[in-house]
Structure 1
Amino acid sequence: MFGAPRPGRLVSRQPPLAEDAAGIVTLEHIHDDIQPGDWGWLHTTGEGTSLTAAVQKTAAPFPGEEWRRLHRTDLAGRSRLAALRFRHRIMRRVREFFDTRGYLEVETPLRVPSPGVETHLSALSADDWFLSPSPEFQMKRLLAGGAGSIYQICRAFRRDETGARHNPEFTMLEWYAVGADTTQLRAEVEALITYVQEREDVPSPLPPPPYPRLPMADAFARFAGVTDMMAPAPVLLAQAGLPVPGDLPDGGLSWEEAFFTVFVERIEPRLCEEGPVFLTQWPAPMASLARLIPENPLVADRFEFFAPAPGGGDLEIANGFGELLDGELQRSRSLEDLAWRRAHGAPEYPLDEKFLQALAEGMPPVSGIALGLDRLVMLWWGADHIRSVLTFAGDEL
């Protein structure tokens, strides 16, 4: 790259290698006083690149831990730094996709008075408020105010979520399509995947859409042999061939616990055998913020998008709803969730009264979805651990 001098760091004198913001550079000349780890100025001419006198001498042995962390290669010979550059390109394409479709990008606060009250939620506190596990409530207030279709790329926080696929702080892409139903929203997920894969060199692309739509009841029947996913806990477990604990006295295994036991043990391991899939029509008790399907009020207008995970199994990528618009019904469901939390000794969180008031004032028909961007980038990169596509995982701080 000809032009003005640029900062560069000497990586080694033999072979003569330096590094700048674009990557590793082979040198034709190195100034005598520069040692590995020192920063100097890179000059590129028709005769090659040289590194001139040091402007910042290293005070520690090189390479140090931070350099090793970013440059350590995976089994495919790729570094963390290469993954971060790939991630940057993906983020740029995602914004480009929504901008071309007329969405408004918004930013909402990360510190909120209520994290939500869904039974599965475990929030991180910040003084007497909370670190937001989702921008949903604030984005819906914007919808009620007439913002139109909106999207957001933001940080989100959830307690006790760590491992190869989880980090307590993660990047979420959330968007709301005004006037759209979940059929259209699923098509938009497919359009986003296609848009990015057609414009970027994706090491581990998904097969081209469309992807199957599989109702949850059909998944229970196909993979677990369960004929009624709403059956009592002992029946669910017995039909799935899983052990039934004792006689299940009051306070024993709940229906929800039995449902997820069957889901994790029988369905998830086989869900993506044939590729990505949308798992649709979830049981109503598992979608407190979604509307019910009119022809079957036991089922909610909720779907999740799963894709085959690097190394085997499946990876949940996104969770979408046909959004509930009834403020009174939403309040009633939230109070039921709070009662469940109280009965099970879970932390009790305050209701978001401003969100509930916004629903009462009226929100347009809308469908919304939360997509884990870290996971999608991990999937496209072909990584088997989420830390591979993060600047810092939680245990690296």
Structure 2
Amino acid sequence: MKIAFYGSSLLSSYWNGAATYYRGLLKALARLSYDITFYEPDVYDRQKNRDIEAPDWCAVVVYEATPQALMQVAARAAEADIVVKASGVGFADDALLRAVLDHARAGALTVFWDVDAPATLGQLRDEPDHPLHRALQEIDLVLTYGGGDPVVWAYRAMGAAECVPIYNALDPETHHPVGKDMRFACDLAFLGNRLPDREARVEAFFLDPAGRSADQRFLLGGSGWGDKQMPANVRWLGHVGTRDHNALNVTAKAVLNISRDSMAANGFSPATRVFEAAGAGACLITDAWLGVDLFLKPGEEILVARDGEDVAEIMQSLSAERAKAIGTSALRRVLGEHTYTTRAVLADAIFRRHFERPTVEAAE
């Protein structure tokens, strides 16, 4: 089956946290014999900051950020059996959604794939005239990369015919243990861009604990932090390309996950970096969110901090031996239960179920 997938970017993770999710899941779907074309706009300098070139398992079409180019690629939705519009494409999202729905052929499966469902649902609640309200009446299926039952119930209440979470996971060919790289030597590392709905939590869970722990080294990776006031023991790296993520995760004694506001409030939304870090065998500390125990066991496979004071206390008592043991246990768990191969099997079953449903005419 052919999939036309309209997303932010497959080729670049620059200001694009969904990149590794797209790569892992679409590569696994391609191995299940899906013929995939990914359409991404040339915005935010992503094409100047590519992490990968077009892979052999997916065709990639990069289009100019103009209304004319958008309509040209949207018209190609007519060629696909499954038409996917992801959230947060980054250029004329509402117009793109409308265009791909209009061009999808009769009988095609139309999918809205939400990579930030709690935030999207919050916007829908605040904006009763948002175009997505109307589109949900036409879309066959909503998939999300997290959110659990709260997101499923909310989307159904908004009129979605069906909503299923397809969680983030691990691609062990991409994220795996490697040798240490002393560029990333530190006690605690955090990797994330500076975003309005994350900054206060980074202050609370990372910068404040650093200020309490002058005897330890903290490493901050991600774009946008250049003018942020930080304790002297925090070193800012700037953007860290995906090719260096394994080395960073392996080298730091511990790696911190900090959820965005909406994800933390909703729960059941493990970030891609949770599985990436675990896949490298890192000792992961996460801010507390509902549902973490569904993915990794607190205290054995992941450490959970309720606030910055917890982070500081964990770091004061965390030995290198315990950190290694936690990372080893996490790696074993994600390899067994949380790979993109298992996620793709679920997505494949959902897609096939839709195509196998009898039509009203056939049923009569």
The structure carrying a bigger helix percent of its residues is 2
* TM-score with structure 1 setting the length: 0.23
The structure carrying a bigger strand percent of its residues is 1
* TM-score with structure 2 setting the length: 0.24
